[in-house]
Amino acid sequence: MSAIPNPSRDTRDIRQGRNPTRTVRIGCLGIGRGHPIAVQSMCATKTQDVEATAAQAEMLRQAGAAVVRIAVDSEADAQALVRIRDRTAVALTVDLQENYRLVVQVAPLVQKVRYNPGHLYHHQKDVPWEDKVRFIAEAAAKHGCALRVGVNCGSVDPALRDKFPPRDKLSPMLESALRHCELLDRLGFDQYCVSLKDSDPAKVIEINRRFAAQRPDVPLHLGVTEAGMPPEGILKTRSALVPLLAEGIGDTIRVSLTLPNARKHEEVAAGLDIVRDVVAGRISVQPWRSGQLNIVSCPSCSRVENAAFVELAEKVRSMTQYAAEANVTIAVMGCRVNGPGETDCADLGLWCGPRYVNLKRGSQTLGSFGYDEILPRLKQELDLILADRKRDDRGAPLQ
């Protein structure tokens, strides 16, 4: 791998004109006011494979990642983290989804914890979300951990989602983030940042502008979730992050790409390129063009239930090229964390399980198919959509 320039040196000049956020400490690293933009990535290896996960964390650090995220979903994952921590020097953040109580085990081992407000309701449903956040914040404060309030379009708290019209996808996200910020402030915990991610670059720009206007003091982690495979995933991410960073919005970033494990460092390289371009004033980007075939696919991470997911995403892209100019969104999701939400929002969705792929048309499930069976059926459904739209464009046939 070629040498990567020091990201701190490369981002020094971007400090001027940034939003006046407070500083949040992630171990020895500072993000926010007066600090360089930090590039992050996430391990895609299974967390319980200690050697592979530690090796990947080190690979990402050497590529220039300032922070590396690891998913912890179980007691066994938390136990593996003890051994991973001893094998890498990078600042670690743990990604908690449903089992928020694991924070007491992981907080002593890492520098930051990320929780998703939209997943807090899954575990111990009779416990108010405010009590769950208090539990997380107390553990983080005890061990000097920072927090990230990670709001994702594919997994918004249903109680908030139902407050707004179905077409308004951003207001529930914004209200969720603001509510959690308000609670953390009342608890006296200020070492937190926020992320508001969507798979649509235009929505990423809008939601982060709206949040920054209301809470300019809170550092923001930027990214386009489920951006997909390179080069399209990089182009989507650049089209959102470059304008925001140029406006002074954003303090740490991740480029979320669907990649095999051996190529995860490409996320870091793409992130560093984005920051360097903004520092150099190269802020002219081509907006992501809507109205064309859009393949949304999640970044390969430890929650992927079958490694064939990454190869399947590549096959879907190749097979659907004949429809490249069609205004169709196909979501290829590797696990259940954001799979249901993203596939519901797509024209066609592939939600990949350990042995079968759940095929959906919008929110309607069409059936489960083997990995060797799914492509022909996907093509059949895509052809039906194209035929329906062609017929609509021509007008209804005469009776």
Q: Would 7-279 and 294-393 be classified into the same CATH topology?
A: no
**Are 231 and 194 in contact, with CB atoms under 8 Å apart?**
no
Report the alpha-carbon distance of residue 267 to residue 255 in Å, rounded: 5
For the stretch 106-134, what's the b/e string if a residue is b when 16 or more beta carbons lie within 10 angstroms of its beta carbon?
Answer: bbebbbbbbbbbbbbbeeeeeeebeebbb
Query: Where are the domains positioned within the chain?
Result: 7-279, 294-393
**Are 295 and 316 in contact, with CB atoms under 8 Å apart?**
yes
Report the alpha-carbon distance of residue 287 to residue 200 in Å, rounded: 11
Structure token digits, residue 342 = 């993203």
| Burial class for 185, CB neighbours closer than 10 Å (0-12, 13-18, 19+) | middle
pLDDT at residue 96, rounded to an integer: 87
**Are 27 and 61 in contact, with CB atoms under 8 Å apart?**
no
CATH 3.20.20.20 describes domain 7-279: yes
Report the alpha-carbon distance of residue 49 to residue 240 in Å, rounded: 34
Q: What are 315-369's pLDDT values in tens digits?
A: 999 999 999 999 999 999 988 766 666 678 899 999 898 999 999 998 899 999 9
For the stretch 250-259, what's the b/e string if a residue is b when 16 or more beta carbons lie within 10 angstroms of its beta carbon?
Answer: bbbbbbbbbb
Backbone CA torsion sign across 350, 356, 50, 101: positive
Q: Which residue has the tokens 């553990």?
A: 139
**CA atoms within 13 Å, Cβ hemisphere of 20:** 1
Residue 4: CB partners within 8 Å, gap ≥ 6? 62, 63, 64, 268, 269, 272
Could you give the 3-state DSSP secondary structure of residue 84? helix
CATH for 294-393 is 3.30.413.10
Q: Which residue has the tokens 């111990």?
A: 124
Angle between helices 265-279 and 232-246 (to 10 degrees): 40
What is each CA distance from 368 to 267, 338, 372, in whole angstroms?
31, 18, 12
Give yes or no for a cis peptide into 231 (omega within 30° of 0). yes
Q: What are 117-171's pLDDT values in tens digits?
A: 998 988 888 999 999 999 999 999 999 999 999 999 888 888 898 899 988 999 9
Tell me the pLDDT of the chain (399 aa) as tens digits: 333 334 443 444 454 578 889 999 999 999 998 899 999 999 999 999 999 999 999 999 999 999 999 999 999 999 999 999 999 999 999 998 778 999 999 999 999 999 999 989 888 889 999 999 999 999 999 999 999 999 998 888 888 988 999 889 999 999 999 999 999 999 999 999 999 999 999 999 999 999 999 999 999 999 999 999 999 999 999 999 999 999 999 999 999 999 999 999 999 999 999 999 999 999 988 888 777 899 999 887 888 878 889 999 999 999 999 999 999 999 999 887 666 666 788 999 998 989 999 999 988 999 999 999 999 999 999 999 999 988 877 665 434
